[in-house]
């Protein structure tokens, strides 16, 4: 007959088993909700989510290599972006600080002291003595309730938020560089139009002066021609001043030194009418795409981090258990310090629990929950703003293209009208005033066309920014967009 097996449990084994039993459940205790709040997306915009929609090099769609070069320079040198990158490094360090508290702490301690003991005290027989100590001290807080884990989780989410903020700053910088560059080459185009018009009106004024001296026309025609010449000349200084301001703004975005800003003019690439037009906007952008905007992801990370800190604050209601230990040597004589008899050690378990602290713990929990509610409101507000930005950008992009096309047709019509007006004037069928009116209207229309082309490009940049960095068309949509562009 087999005898029953007897399991002998020493106090040490019992302590280890108890600690394991308490520690393991702590891994799943007080875990924060790590999911983003449910967002009611517009049904008309729902499409299959696909990571391929994201295009982080949207500026290539404009077909200007200089623009890509300027954006890369800005990303390297811009000080606002450098600040955002530094904040990421700080947040990463905070994660290391918080996570280190979850591990045992081991320190090396050493001391040597000489002491004279009072002859009237309880240790009067010691007299004067020397004491040498060398020991390794360890301590470990058992994270049973998840306080340390949640603090670390909060720090990790702060790191994610800092990274998304860096991405948001980079996206805003990319867009601002592109729009400033487009504004610069648009001003260049308007300046060229003004100078071409000045040259044409100088020639017209000289011709009218010769005709007046020959007795072919009245002085009125000469003065009208002179007035139109002065009008065109007045536009040039204003455009030159705007170009200088825009060049300085672009230089600052590129992170150039003060000397470079003063002495170096930004390069020019293509003319405003040579900039490529990105593909036709898809009829429906996926709503999930907007949730990838860096500002929305930043708000989500901040919210989840706030939830983790609520759980960390709640953990203060429960006992804190820690282990401490020390192992080393101690001797009154330095020569005996490393002998067997000099060994010393200690081991202790500590438990602490607040009984009364004047409502401090409850107030800290309330504060953490208030921060969580604020983060939730920020997240919802950011999502709402994102959809508002995209809706406005889609409408504006559609209308800008129509305005550009209308002004292009107007310029063509006025060009033909000017040719006919000159012909009628040369043959004596109309006055010179008809020619001047047509020239004036054509000059204004050409300037307006450049402004419309600028608005169309800037509106497309705003749409890229609104969706968080652009998109890529699927194969069937690319073919459809190419067909529309061709037609």
DSSP for 144-207?
TTSHHHHHHHHHHHHHHHHHHHHHHHHHHHHHHHHHHHHHHHHHHHHHHHHHHHHHHHHHHHHH
Structural domain contains residue 397: yes
Query: What CA–CA distance (Å, rounded) separates 16 from 352?
Result: 19
- Reported as half-sphere exposure (CB side, CA atoms, 13 A), residue 407 has a value of 22
Range of the domain at 436: 42-104+154-318+370-486
At 307, which CATH number? 1.20.1600.10
Structural domain contains residue 337: no
Structural domain contains residue 172: yes
Structural domain contains residue 329: no
Structural domain contains residue 19: no
Structural domain contains residue 330: no
In order of 35, 67, 190, 362, 423, the CA distances from 187 in angstroms are 48, 16, 5, 62, 32
How confident is the prediction along the chain (487 residues), in pLDDT tens digits per residue?
444 433 333 445 444 544 444 444 444 456 777 777 766 655 444 433 343 444 578 999 899 999 999 999 999 999 999 999 999 999 999 999 999 999 999 999 999 998 888 777 777 777 788 889 999 999 999 999 999 999 999 999 999 999 999 999 999 999 999 999 999 999 999 999 999 999 988 988 898 899 889 888 889 889 988 998 998 899 999 999 999 999 999 999 999 876 776 676 677 888 998 998 776 566 556 666 777 889 999 999 999 999 999 999 999 999 999 999 999 999 988 888 888 888 999 999 999 988 899 999 999 999 999 999 999 999 999 999 998 888 888 888 888 989 999 999 999 999 999 999 999 988 888 888 888 889 899 999 999 999 999 999 999 999 889 888 866 554 444 444 444 444 4
Could you give the number of structural domains in the chain? 1
396 CB burial (10 A radius; 0-12, 13-18, 19+): middle
298 CB burial (10 A radius; 0-12, 13-18, 19+): buried
Structural domain contains residue 260: yes
In order of 415, 417, 421, 422, 439, the CA distances from 426 in angstroms are 17, 14, 9, 6, 15
The DSSP H or E segment spanning 416 is helix 360-426
pTM of the full structure: 0.80
Structural domain contains residue 125: no
């Amino acid at each position: 007959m087999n005898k029953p097996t007897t399991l002998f449990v020493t106090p040490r084994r019992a302590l280890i088993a108890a600690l394991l039993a308490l520690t393991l459940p702590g891994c799943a205790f007080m875990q924060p909700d790590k999911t983003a709040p449910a967002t009611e997306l517009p049904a008309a915009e729902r499409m299959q989510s696909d990571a391929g929609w994201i295009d982080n090099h949207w500026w290539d769609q404009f077909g200007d290599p200089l623009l890509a070069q300027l954006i890369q320079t800005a990303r390297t040198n811009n000080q606002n972006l450098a600040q955002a990158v530094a904040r990421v490094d700080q947040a990463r360090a905070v994660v290391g600080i918080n996570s280190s508290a979850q591990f045992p702490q081991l320190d090396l301690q050493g001391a040597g002291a000489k002491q004279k003991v009072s002859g009237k005290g309880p240790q009067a027989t010691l007299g004067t003595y020397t004491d040498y100590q060398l020991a390794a001290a360890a301590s470990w807080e058992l994270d049973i309730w998840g306080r340390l884990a949640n603090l670390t989780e909060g720090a990790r989410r702060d790191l994610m938020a800092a990274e998304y903020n860096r991405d948001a700053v980079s996206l805003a910088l990319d867009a601002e560089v592109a729009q400033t560059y487009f504004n610069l080459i648009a001003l260049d185009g308007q300046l060229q139009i003004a100078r071409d018009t000045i040259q044409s009106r100088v020639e017209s004024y000289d011709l009218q002066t010769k005709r007046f001296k020959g007795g072919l026309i009245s002085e009125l025609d000469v003065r009208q021609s002179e007035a139109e010449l002065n009008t065109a000349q007045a536009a040039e200084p204003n455009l030159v001043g705007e170009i200088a301001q825009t060049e300085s703004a672009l230089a600052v975005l590129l992170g150039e030194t003060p000397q470079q800003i003063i002495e170096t003019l930004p390069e020019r690439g293509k003319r405003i009418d040579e900039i490529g037009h990105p593909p036709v906007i898809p009829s429906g952008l996926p709503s999930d795409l907007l949730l990838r905007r860096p500002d929305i992801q930043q708000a989500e990370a901040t919210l989840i981090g706030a939830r983790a800190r609520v759980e960390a604050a709640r953990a203060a209601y429960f006992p804190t258990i820690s282990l401490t230990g020390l192992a080393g040597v101690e001797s009154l004589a330095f020569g005996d310090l490393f002998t067997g008899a000099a060994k010393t050690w200690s081991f202790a378990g500590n438990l602490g629990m607040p009984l009364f602290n004047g409502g401090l713990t409850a107030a800290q929990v309330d504060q953490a929950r208030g921060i969580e509610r604020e983060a939730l409101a920020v997240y919802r507000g950011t999502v709402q703003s994102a959809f508002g930005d995209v809706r406005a950008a889609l409408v504006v992009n559609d209308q800008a293209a129509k305005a550009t096309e209308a002004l292009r047709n107007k310029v063509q019509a006025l060009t033909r009208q000017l040719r006919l007006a000159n012909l009628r004037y040369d043959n004596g069928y109309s006055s010179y005033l008809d020619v001047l009116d047509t020239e004036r209207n054509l000059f204004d229309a050409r300037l307006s066309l450049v402004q419309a082309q600028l608005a169309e490009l800037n509106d497309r940049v705003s749409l890229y920014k609104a969706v968080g960095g652009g998109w890529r068309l699927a194969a069937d949509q690319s073919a459809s967009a190419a067909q529309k562009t061709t037609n």
